[in-house]
Amino acid sequence: MILGAIADDLTGATDLSLILSRNGMRVVQVIGVPDTLGDVARDADVVVVALKSRTIPAAEAIEMSLASARALQAAGAKQLFFKYCSTFDSTDDGNIGQVTTALMEHLGTAHTLACPSFPENGRTVYKGHLFVFDQLISESPMRDHPLTPMCDPNLVRVLSRQSNRPVRLVPHETVRRGAAAINAALLQEPGICIVDAITDSDLRAIGRAAAQFPLVTGGSAVAMGLPDLYRENGWIAPAAEREAFIAPEGRGVILAGSCSAMTRRQIATAEKAGMQMMQLDALRIASGEITPELVVAFAETASQCSSLPPVIYSSAEPAIVAQAQKTLGRMHAGEIVEGLLARVAATLATRGYTRFISAGGETSGAVVAALGCSAVRIGPEIDPGVPWVLSVNTERPLCLALKSGNFGSEDFFLKAWEMLAWA
């Protein structure tokens, strides 16, 4: 194994695993802090550890990340990659800066870079400012994220508030001059460099520039150049063949806890396509009016009426989410919704459901933990950043599509489901 990756949420981990496996690396993805990785890592070029550390207190996120780093290093990782969201999801309390700083200290390195750019999904960084397609992040729907509202587009400023290390910019003028110029800029002074990147070729140059860095941090796309680089250096074998993906027979369900504008559009499209819908309200879950039993009963009835999977969603407009948060508290509202969706998933799995599509990083983390799944194998790509994956250690095999809230086309749910017809 050459690369050890730590992702701060589950959908982010599968996104990174997909990019690396698409570029011919043998990827193993584990969920939660691993004790040891001996057997798991033996035939892998990279192990990706999926945490649920994006919105927890910074001290806990640091502890989980360092424990994962130690396990990855013990299994042979020569370089570490800290993966966070392409929309830089975090608050001033953390956790991107704090975890990066802790990993730098752990590795004894004074230099690293931070770059969430993912042009294929419309995320670019220019003059240190993060864009989502044509909008600054702070003017995009991400300003209303339920847990990590992004209101400052200047990443140098954002990261400076989260780290005691100096944070500066490597501007696009330097990035355009290629890997050697970027490398020189990164090494000029100690600290964390936000690096501008607006195209895949920028990202490949950045990867090359950081080839010898013990720690790289960023969105998944920053890793796209690493596999070729490792092969050129003889550190990994020629591109691996992808294993066949065989979806287990069984019923399916869609569970959506993401409130992103894209997930809400995908839900509307699913309804138009004839999927059976149930909307969950956070306040009614908190009052006990909506119970897991009620939701499971809906899913079972809906599955009898239609060959399409039912959609169970708490996704709502910012005003509704804000109202729930005012009554329940921001984090508690999230936990209540995640808890319900997780219990529904666990019950459905005992009743023959084997195909789960989940929308939202925190949501997917909760759902997959409840399914008892601690490792997955990466399958075919549904949309950029979102593959089907197969559980490797559950009682019965499960196939899962873990969709980042912001990712996927408007017909994502139907498209993901139809892919299983030939898998």
Ligand X SMILES: Nc1ncnc2c1ncn2[C@@H]1O[C@H](COP(=O)(O)OP(=O)(O)O)[C@@H](O)[C@H]1O
Ligand Y SMILES: O=C(O)[C@@H](O)C(=O)COP(=O)(O)O
Residues of the shown chain interacting with ligand X in the complex, contacts defined by CB under 6 A: 146-147, 257-260, 282, 314-316, 321, 324-325, 333-334, 337-338, 360-363, 404-405
Q: How many Cβ atoms are within 10 Å of 93's Cβ, its own excluded?
A: 12
The first and second tokens of residue 222, run together, are: 């920053």
**Nearest residue relative to ligand X (C-beta):** 405
Q: Residue 218 — φ and ψ, nearest 5°?
A: 165, -170
Distance of closest approach, residue 277 Cβ to ligand Y, in angstroms: 21
Longest dimension (CA), the chain: 64
Q: How far is CA 243 from CA 5, 80, 334, 381, in A?
A: 21, 25, 36, 13
Binding marks (x or -) toward ligand Y, 46..75, rule CB under 6 A? ------------------------------
Distance CA 270, CA 274 (A): 7
Minimum distance of ligand Y from residue 33's CB (angstroms) = 18
- For residues 281 to 320, the per-residue mask of contacts with ligand Y, x marking binding by CB under 6 A and - elsewhere, is ----------------------------------------
| Cα–Cα distance, 134 to 122 (Å, whole number) | 8
Residue 158: name its binding partner from ligand X, ligand Y, none (Cβ under 5 to 8 Å by kind). Answer: none
Residue in 9, 45, 196, 383 binding ligand Y, rule: CB under 6 A = 9
Q: Kindly state whether residue 5 participates in binding ligand Y, applying the rule CB under 6 A.
A: no
| Contact range with ligand Y by CB under 6 A, out of 83-91, 93-101, 300-308, 322-330 | 83-91
- The partner in contact with residue 316, picked from ligand X, ligand Y, none with C-beta cut-offs of 5 to 8 angstroms by kind, is ligand X
86 lies in the binding site for ligand Y (CB under 6 A): yes
Shortest Å distance, C-beta 242 to ligand Y: 20
* 86: partner contacted, choices ligand X, ligand Y, none (Cβ within 5-8 A by kind): ligand Y
> 335: part of which helix (H) or strand (E)?
helix 330-350
Angle at alpha carbon of residue 29, lines to 52 and 76, rounded to 5°: 105
Q: For the chain, give percent helix, strand, coil, nearest 5.
A: 45, 20, 35
Q: Rounded to an integer, what distance in angstroms lies between the CA atom of residue 97 and that of residue 107?
A: 15
Asked if residue 386 lies in contact with residue 408, where contact means CB atoms within 8 angstroms, the answer is yes
Identify which of 84, 400, 109, 125 has the alpha carbon closest to the alpha carbon of residue 223: 84
| Residue 4 binding ligand Y, by CB under 6 A | no
* CA within 13 Å, CB half, 298: 21
Query: Which one of ligand Y, ligand X, none interacts with residue 321, CB within 5 to 8 A by kind?
Result: ligand X
Binding mask 196-235 for ligand Y (x = CB under 6 A): -----------------------xx---------------
Burial grade of 304 (CB within 10 A; 0-12, 13-18, 19 or more): exposed
Binding-site partner at residue 53 among ligand X, ligand Y, none, CB < 5 to 8 Å by type: none
| Nearest CA-CA partner of 260 in 340, 336, 360 | 360
Site for ligand Y in 368-407 (CB under 6 A): 385, 404-406
Q: Of ligand Y, ligand X, none, which one sits near residue 257, judging by CB under 5 to 8 A according to partner kind?
A: ligand X
In the list ligand Y, ligand X, none, the entry touching 282 (Cβ below 5 to 8 angstroms by class) is ligand X
* Interface positions with ligand Y (CB under 6 A): 9, 11-12, 15, 85-87, 118, 219-220, 360-361, 385, 404-406
